[in-house]
Amino acid sequence: MDKGKIEITYIIHSDDSSLNNSDKELVVKSRETTSEAYAPYSSFRVSAVARMENGALFHGTNQENASFPAGICAERVLLAVVSSVCPNYLIETIAISYASNLVKDDYPLAPCGICRQSLIEYEARYTKRVRLLLTGRKGLIYEINSVSDILPFGFRPDNLIG
């Protein structure tokens, strides 16, 4: 019997003061744009902001729906925007933040499983890693080198090719 081991290394910033200017801009914008989310049922507002390789910024926010399966997370809204508006430019970094009046929101959270899988598909589609900056309304920021780090056994397009 063999054993495998998975480890990831990520950087923990105590706040945004140690980030470079472009990453700080992403984090600030992700925190600000949580207010644009439509989350009347959960009051859990999420924003994802992408910096493209050409320097442009795009964002998406979660959009809830009374028919709960019909809602969509901020990360997937962002990927739809980017793929529709500028499909010829790649995402370099995504900052994801959230705000809530019901739960503590001063620490980083990672994307849900469906969003991780969608982000893996984006990395595979363009064969380029996407950095993540995860944060709450304030405080700690996790800097993750690649989406693949947070979904190590992600299902990839090449799994379908015989």
Domain boundaries, the chain: 19-156
Residue with token string 């700690």: 140
pLDDT band at 162 (very low <50, low <70, confident <90, very high): low
* For range 144-162, the mean pLDDT: 90
Residue range 36-57, pLDDT digits in tens: 999 999 999 999 999 999 999 9
pLDDT band at 91 (very low <50, low <70, confident <90, very high): very high
User: CA–CA separation, 24 vs 41, rounded Å?
Assistant: 30
pLDDT band at 23 (very low <50, low <70, confident <90, very high): very high
What's the predicted TM-score (pTM) here? 0.95
Q: Output the average pLDDT for the chain.
A: 95
pLDDT band at 160 (very low <50, low <70, confident <90, very high): confident
- pLDDT (0 to 100) of residue 31: 98
Q: Which residues pair with 44 in a beta bridge?
A: 100
Told to judge if 64 belongs to the known catalytic residues of this protein, a careful annotator would answer: no
Instruction: Catalytic residue, from 32, 36, 64, 75: name it.
Output: 75
* For range 21-39, the mean pLDDT: 98
pLDDT band at 74 (very low <50, low <70, confident <90, very high): very high
**The domain defined by 19-156 carries CATH number 3.40.140.10:** yes
- If you ran DSSP here, which 8-state letter would residue 38 be given? B
Q: With pLDDT > 70 as the criterion, what percentage of the chain qualifies? A: 99
Question: What is the H or E stretch that residue 100 is in?
Answer: strand 91-100
